Amino acid sequence: MKDSLRQHLRQSCTDEELKRWFDPLMITPCDEEKCFVIRFPHRFFAEWFSTTVRDKFEEQLSLFLGPGYTLRYVNGQGRAATNAASIGAATRTDFPFGHSFTLENYIANQKNYFPLATARQVAKSSDSQYNPFVICGPSGTGKTHLLKAMANEMSKTVDPSGIFYGTPDDLRALVVSNHGSLKERFAKHVCLILDDFHRLRDIPDVHETLLELFDDFYGAKRKMLFASNQGVTTMENLPKSLKSRVEGGLVVTLKPHDLDVRTRYVKRLCQAKRLKLTKTQMLTLAQRFDDFRFLQGILLKLFAFKELVHKEIQDQDFQSILQYAEETPTNRVDPEKIFQVVAEHFQIPEYELAGHKRSQTIVFARQMGMYLCRSLLGLSYPALGRLFGGKDHSTAMYAVKKMEERMAGDPSVKHLVTQLKKKCS
């Protein structure tokens, strides 16, 4: 097994790394099913391993073995590890929230060191000292990555089914499902993770439910992790009672990635896909595009070219592919942009677009928002309904059809749609 694992690890580790931290390990199956013992030569190596490469080792071992395995770490004499605090107890190697989302894989430099270090401490700790833990930052800074990485880390020692990962829209879907109270459904959960926490401003009908959940989790010392595009203090339409509770936790802010981090990200993706780009080409990508998702898409195009054409990428090929990707990700349309543009034009709060008020102006603005999301993003009618406060798909379908009728019969409405589309793009 060790030889096969070594071949697998060569894809992500250098020969020097393999020799330094893999050779001293002894990996043997134990009596339990789907369980392996990782034996260290001595305590000092165990402590070094735990603080430096353990996360990377477990990630790669999970990819090699598959889900459902447990690792037990012992010292060279076969006794239980003498320093349980640093070596750790038995852990699972599953990554139920995605193999690519690990604390090891999050690239950060000094300006984001504190959020990353704190996230690691919160995920690995068994207590709830920092509760709730809130990650703020603009889009593309890695908030979702950190949340999922923390969830993966916690799932090594707790049942993943006890970790809820979702958004305020998911909470609302549970509320309207009428399958019992959320307090009962979350009674056995050890962690509540809400991404896109800022969406709460547009879904006022879950505020009371979340407040009850918050008090229940906080009182039982169960962890809560939130991520938001904006600071909690600036969020509109959020009850003061809920806002004060969230502000009472530990709030960290991720700063936009600078050139150094983007360059390292490009280099890592190139290594993972075995894509041979020159240093100049990698630097060009990092300088031109500042969004990780967009960088990933560009590199995927380059990788596809290499696989389909069956040759390494020359500079001419590189420039040719790049010229069709000049538009920066900041110009991409997303639901938040559409909400912002529509609300600004009609001079109403954004949350009213997902609300239930039926005044003429708000209804027209809501229909306009649904039509723009449908035409610019290609969202399905059920997805439109969920986005606009949990409306039924038939409501979304009616709104889009109504806007099409208005555009056909009124040139001023058609002109307004054209203008708003330009502002969204």
The larger pLDDT score, comparing residue 400 to residue 309, is at 400
pLDDT for res 367: 94
CATH number of the domain within which 231 lies: 3.40.50.300
Segments forming the whole domain that contains residue 414: 335-424
Say which residue, 62 or 110, is predicted with more confidence. 110
In this structure, the answer to whether residues 115 and 216 fall within a common structural domain is yes
Residues 16 and 39 in one domain: yes
* CA-based R_g, the chain, Å: 25
Query: Domain check: are 203 and 307 in the same one?
Result: no
CATH classification at residue 46 = 3.30.300.180
Assess whether pLDDT exceeds 70 at residue 386.
yes
pLDDT confidence of residue 328: 45
Domain presence at residue 103: no
- Are both 245 and 266 inside the same structural domain? no
Higher pLDDT, 418 or 39: 418
Lowest mean pLDDT among 31-35, 165-169, 290-294: 31-35
216 and 198 inside one domain:
yes
Q: Domain check: are 115 and 219 in the same one? A: yes
Supply the pLDDT for residue 327: 45
CA distances from 331 to 326, 422, 425 (A): 11, 11, 6
* Averaged pLDDT for residues 359-370: 93
Instruction: pLDDT band for 179, please (50, 70, 90 cuts).
Output: low
pLDDT in tens, 299-312: 888 888 888 887 78
Q: Which residue has the higher pLDDT, 232 or 364?
A: 364
Domain presence at residue 102: no
Q: Quick check: is 104 in a domain?
A: no
Q: What is the pLDDT of residue 365?
A: 94
Pair (284, 375) in one structural domain: no
pLDDT reported for residue 306:
84
pLDDT of residue 86: 35
What percent of the chain lies above the pLDDT cut of 70?
Answer: 87
Looking at residue 11, what is its pLDDT?
A: 62
**Residue 367, beta-bridge partner list:** none
Across 383-402, average pLDDT: 88
Average pLDDT over every residue of 316-344: 75
**Percent of the chain's residues with pLDDT above 90:** 26
Least confident span in 78-87, 234-243, 351-360: 78-87
Between 55 and 194, where is the model more confident?
A: 194
231 vs 278, residue with greater confidence: 278
Contact between 209 and 237 (Cβ < 8 Å): no
What's the number of domains the chain is made of?
4
Which CATH number do you get for residue 400?
1.10.1750.10
Report the mean per-residue pLDDT for the chain: 83
| Residue 370 in domain | yes
- Among 2-6, 49-53, 123-127, top mean pLDDT goes to 123-127
What does the pLDDT read at residue 97? 87
* pLDDT band with cut points at 50, 70 and 90 for residue 157: confident
Residues 230 and 311 in one domain: no
pLDDT of residue 149: 93
**Beta strands 223-228 and 191-194: pairing type?**
parallel
Confidence check: pLDDT of 184 > 70: yes
Residue 183: what pLDDT?
A: 81
Pairing of strands 250-253, 133-136: parallel
Residue 3: predicted pLDDT: 66
Residue 274 has pLDDT above 50, yes or no: yes
Average pLDDT for 170-183: 79
Per residue in 20-55, pLDDT tens?
Answer: 667 777 887 777 777 888 888 887 888 788 777 777
| 3-state SS, one letter per residue, for the chain | CHHHHHHHHCCCCCHHHHHHHHCCCEEEECCCCCEEEEECCCHHHHHHHHHHCHHHHHHHHHHHHCCCCEEEEECCCCCECCCHHHHCCCEECCCCCCCCCCCCCCCCCHHHHHHHHHHHHHHHCCCCCCCCEEEECCCCCCHHHHHHHHHHHHCCCCCHHHEEEECHHHHHHHHHCCCCCHHHHCCCCCEEEECCHHHHHHCHHHHHHHHHHHHHHHHCCCEEEEEECCCHHHCCCCCHHHHHHHHCCEEEECCCCCHHHHHHHHHHHHHHHCCCCCHHHHHHHHHHCCCHHHHHHHHHHHHHHHHHHCCCCCHHHHHHHHHHHCCCHHHCCCHHHHHHHHHHHHCCCHHHHHCCCCCHHHHHHHHHHHHHHHHHHCCCHHHHHHHCCCCCHHHHHHHHHHHHHHHHHCHHHHHHHHHHHHHHC
186 vs 325, higher pLDDT: 186
Residue 120 sits in the same domain as residue 225: yes
What is residue 21's predicted lDDT score, i.e. its pLDDT?
67
pTM for this structure?
0.64
Is pLDDT of 207 > 70?
Answer: yes
The answer to whether residue 135 is domain-embedded is yes
**Do 36 and 147 share a domain, yes or no?**
no
| Domain assignment present for 99 | no
Choose one of 222, 253, 284: the last residue of a domain: 253
For position 1, what pLDDT does the model report? 65
Q: Is the pLDDT of residue 329 over 50?
A: no
- 206 and 114 share one domain: yes
In a domain, 248, yes or no: yes
Q: pLDDT of 51-107, one tens digit each?
A: 777 777 877 777 777 767 778 788 765 444 333 333 445 676 678 888 778 888 888
Q: Which residues touch 321 (CB under 8 Å, ≥6 apart)?
A: 298, 301, 302, 305, 313
Q: Could you identify the residue written with the tokens 């708003």?
A: 420
Q: In terms of domains, do 235 and 281 share one? A: no
pLDDT of residue 85: 33
Indicate the residue among 214, 233, 253 that finishes a domain.
253
189, part of any domain: yes
- What is the CATH number for 267? 1.10.8
